[in-house]
Amino acid sequence: MNQERPISGRLRKAPEGFLSRNGIQKVTSEAKNGRRDFIRSTFAAAGAVLPAAMAWSNPPPTEDGDPHILNLPEHSKALGRGVAADGSYGQPSGFEANVRRRHSPGLTQTMQASVSFAPLQSLFGIVTPAGLHFERHHQGWWDIDPSKHRFMVNGMVKSPKVFTVDEIMRLPAVSRFHFIECGANTAVEWGNVAVPTVQYTHGMISCSEFTGVRLMTLLEMAGVDLQKGKFVLAEGADGSSMTRTIPMNLITSGEVFVAYGQNGEMLRPEQGYPLRLIVPGVQGVSWVKYLRRIEVGDMPYATKDEAVQYIDLQPDGLARQYTSIQECKSVVTTPSGGQVLLDKGFYNITGLAWSGRGKVKKVDVSVDGGRNWRTARLESPVMSKALTRFNLDWVWDGKPAIIQSRAVDETGFVQPTYKQLRAVRGTRSIYHNNAIQSWLVQESGEVKNVQVA
């Protein structure tokens, strides 16, 4: 399904001979002379800014033997580019062009009802930058004028209310870090189709700091009837009429909010600008984008995207509905499929863990296909229903190794093996695959997606 060449990530080899004694002495000498001269010259000029040539007035001999030409890169001698005075938003380094979202040709029939996957193999920590956040659109994305957008609360409320975006932004704000995972993340692995990279196996997850107003605050302003109102319908303004039912107990807990901010700035248009519903722990389809309405009701709404889509086909032929919590899951992101280990020796095994039920308690890592496990270090902060980054030291001996991670959340739920998951759920599901992922490191150093029975 994917014809793109897998990327080797950041596991390149050092240039030959760079760590030689001569090389070190040369760098040392250049740096020392440079620094000393720079300080002396600066003082002589009473703090004025000096041309680079003066500052490096006594250059050491260079490789070609001419002592008057200092063998430094251009960026160490000349003026660079100025500050973003024009307000330019900037871009990642040109050398990182390979770190990008990717879609999977053939997976969907149109680019408007489609997916782009986040390059997990190249991401660090837990924050996903907006430009690399996975996308799932049902009818394409829009850049909606926020001054014309309205958000309504109606249904089982005393007085229906319509809010402008500015009105929402005057209300008490909350900021929280949460992951968002598409219910269909890791979908094709159900059928034992081993796609090559972690970008395609697990790339429909991202994590951000969201800012907005608790939905409960808005419901209270409308005089919600909590005796009758046990569910809400969330409705988006895009052409797909995305609608999802959310049980009221998630809302009264205070966790659900209407967001306008994501990672410090306004939501990106691809992520639902100007308003999106944040439903921590629940699959992404319920995080309705371009949110225009919340209706309070007394029963689930059985909308198209919960009655006939986003359901789990069971081994007995019946389907589970309303299975929206993303259970505890983890994945090693380096080394992962498509990367190449070029030497034996030390590697930092790193990955992500999460649970829709709360905090990650522990992540164990195996390098022998699940026979032996070591506990990984969790980076702080460990937050409820957010990604958690884990790291573990590993010395590769050059022999084949099968790398796995297994997360446990604060409820005690242990991430299942494929065998355990399939015993209950069969193989015909699309959604909610949270099985342990296996990466085979071959003797060649190439890393491959495999399924361990």
- What angle is formed at CA 163 by the lines to CA 160 and CA 168, rounded to 5 degrees? 130
The size of the interface with a copy of itself (CB under 8 A), counted in residues, is: 144
Maximal C-alpha separation, the chain:
87
CA distance 439 to 449: 5
Pairing of strands 231-236, 243-247: antiparallel
Pick the stretch among 62-70, 171-179, 193-201, 405-413 that binds a copy of itself (CB under 8 A).
171-179
Which residue is listed with tokens 């008490």? 172
Which lies closer to a copy of itself via its Cβ, residue 65 or residue 80? 80
Q: Does 65 bind a copy of itself (CB under 8 A)?
A: no
Pick the stretch among 77-85, 196-204, 358-366, 397-405 that binds a copy of itself (CB under 8 A).
77-85
CA distance 425 to 436: 15
Contacts of 430 (CB under 8 A, 6+ apart): 184, 187, 190, 312, 313
> In terms of C-beta density within 10 A (0-12 exposed, 13-18 middle, 19 or more buried), how is residue 42 classed?
middle
Q: Does 129 bind a copy of itself (CB under 8 A)?
A: yes
Binds a copy of itself (CB under 8 A): choice among 202, 389, 425, 432: 389
Which lies closer to a copy of itself via its Cβ, residue 77 or residue 428? 77
Site string for a copy of itself, 193-222 (x = CB under 8 A): ---------------xxxx-----------
Which lies closer to a copy of itself via its Cβ, residue 174 or residue 226? 174
In order of 100, 217, 261, 393, the CA distances from 121 in angstroms are 11, 39, 26, 17
Binds a copy of itself (CB under 8 A): choice among 2, 59, 70, 116: 116
Binds a copy of itself (CB under 8 A): choice among 58, 253, 348, 427: 348
Secondary structure class of 94 (helix, strand, coil): helix
DSSP state of 228: T
Which lies closer to a copy of itself via its Cβ, residue 88 or residue 249? 88
Rounded to the nearest whole angstrom, what is the least distance from the CB of residue 314 to a copy of itself in the complex? 18
Which residues, numbered 248-277, are part of the site for a copy of itself (CB under 8 A)?
260-261, 263-270, 273-274
Which residues, numbered 397-436, are part of the site for a copy of itself (CB under 8 A)?
none
Q: Does 90 bind a copy of itself (CB under 8 A)?
A: yes
Pairing of strands 374-375, 438-441: unpaired
Task: Please report, to the nearest 10 degrees, the dihedral formed by the alpha carbons of residues 113, 119, 121, 127 taken in order.
Answer: -110
Binds a copy of itself (CB under 8 A): choice among 1, 54, 71, 76: 76
SS (H, E, C) 302-318: CCHHHHCCCCEECCCCC
Which residues, numbered 11-50, are part of the site for a copy of itself (CB under 8 A)?
11-15, 18-19, 23-24, 27-28, 31, 34-35, 38-39, 42-43, 47, 49
Q: Do 301 and 233 touch, CB atoms closer than 8 A?
A: yes
Which lies closer to a copy of itself via its Cβ, residue 383 or residue 421? 383
